[in-house]
Amino acid sequence: MKFFVDTADINEINDLAATGLLDGVTTNPSLIAKSGRDFKEVIKDICSVVDGPVSAEVASTEYDAMLAEANEIRTWGDNIAVKVPLTEAGLKVCKQLSDEGTMVNVTLCFSAAQAILAAKAGASFISPFVGRLDDISSDGMRLIAEICTIYDNYPQFDTEVLVASIRSPMHIVESAKMGAHVMTSPPDVIRALYKHPLTDKGLAAFVEDWKKTGQSIL
């Protein structure tokens, strides 16, 4: 499974990239606004740090304006994945860009039917939002299972399942068990994967026992 981080904070991205675990970055208008920085400047900075796909989202909803924005965004880096919403206009833009060799991340997916459309339009990534489904008492992980099954049935689909709106490490683990290709989450959820009380307890015991020896490795 590929690990993307969902943030526009360049410091967080640099820190996670240093671990070697980071395969890409996703952003959206809300994250860019939170950064307080210029959109183009932020995306170009991220592209200089991360070799993998960097998703940058269009802001318009109408086809012509969306395509114009997409054509500008994809000039900002060789690893840009233009992010478009799962609407009729978004899928038209997806088809055109993918035919021209540009990566496209189709976002705001909430049904298997929508995921089929994105794959047929040539999307590089489909982003189903599991956390937002959970928020309305629907089963987000069931959607991931459905999409993975459908895509497995049709090898001609090259679209990767990018699990988004992740709220906990278990979303990541369950997605990996289902065969999802990519996950994207906030930095704190990635860091939560490190944590286990028995690891902390064991390390504390090792440190205490080492102190008792009075030795030093250096």
Q: Mind telling me the catalytic residues?
A: 83
Classify residue 168 by its DSSP letter. Answer: S
Rounded Cα distance, 164 and 85, in Å = 13
Rounded Cα distance, 209 and 187, in Å = 33
Q: Among the residues of 74-196, which ranges form H helices?
A: 88-99, 112-120, 130-135, 140-153, 169-178, 187-192
Beta strands in the chain (DSSP E): 2-6, 24-26, 54-57, 80-85, 103-109, 125-128, 160-163, 182-185
Q: What are phi and psi of 157, to 5 degrees?
A: -75, 120
Residue 43 and residue 80 in contact, taking contact as beta carbons nearer than 8 Å: yes
